Structure 1
Amino acid sequence: MKSITRQKSLEEIAEQLTNLDHVFIVGCGTCTTMTKTGGIDQVVEMKDRLLEIDKRVSGWTVIPIACD
C-alpha cells in the first residue's frame, strides 16, 4: 500500500477553526494510523491540543476506512 499523508500544524488548524466554537474530530484506521498522522493516538492528542486553545471538542472517532 502506498500512502502520502501529512499532519497539519496546530496553527494551521486553529486558523481554519477561527470562527467555529465546536469541532468533531475524525481519524482513519488505515493509512493515517500506519503513518501515525491521524490514527487514534493522534486524534486524542489533537483533541487535547484543541482543548488547550479553548476549542470545544464535541466528540471524536476513528473510522476503519475513510477512503471507501
Structure 2
Amino acid sequence: MMKQSLQGLILEIKESSEQSELKCLFYQQVTVRATLIDNFGFIEQFKALNARLDDLQSTPRYRSPTS
C-alpha cells in the first residue's frame, strides 16, 4: 500500500512538472512573439523616421570656395 501511494505521488510530481514545463514554453513563445511584434513596429517607425529625415535634407545653403 505504501508503495502504491509513493508511486502515485511520483506520478503526480511528474505530471505537475510536465504542466509547469508546458506553461514555461507557452510563456516563452508569447514573449518571443510579443518581442517580434514590438521589434517590427520599431523597425517600421525607424524606416518612417529615416524617410522623413531624407526629405528634410536639402542642398547646402552655402557653396564651398573650391566649387
TM normalised by structure 2 equals: 0.24
Return the index of the structure with the highest Cα Rg.
Answer: 2
Higher strand proportion = 1
Q: Which has the higher contact order (CA 8 A, sep 6+)?
A: 1
Please give the TM-score of this superposition, normalised by the length of structure 1. Answer: 0.23
Structure 1 or 2: more helix by fraction: 2
